[in-house]
Amino acid sequence: MDEQKLLERITVNPAIFGGKPIIRGRRLAVEHVLGMLAAGDSPETVLEGYPWLQREDIQACLVHARWSDPHG
């Protein structure tokens, strides 16, 4: 899946988490998934914790982080 298609999975809703980027309109912030990965959780662990989450959602979080990096 190309990056633009992955980024479509990331949405912003001012009514959810104060407008922070979230995954597919659900109450799961991109920063939470990135934090779990940074803490050493595997993608499989993240997926187990959120049964509705898809592997492409995790990829979308990583792409979002890369494109949001002011140093990148």
Q: Going by C-beta distance under 8 Å and a sequence separation of 6 or more, which residues neighbour residue 61? A: 10, 23, 30, 33, 34, 37
Predicted pLDDT at 71: 62
Q: For residues 38 and 9, what is the distance between their CA atoms, to the nearest angstrom?
A: 20
Q: What is the pLDDT of residues 18-72, one digit of tens each?
A: 999 999 999 999 999 999 999 999 999 999 999 999 999 999 999 999 988 666 5
CA distance 22 to 34: 11
Q: Give the tokens for residue 54.
A: 């898809």
Domains of the chain, each with CATH number or no CATH? 3-68 (1.10.10.10)
Higher per-residue pLDDT: 67 or 11: 11
pLDDT of residue 72: 54
| Whole-number pLDDT of residue 67 | 86
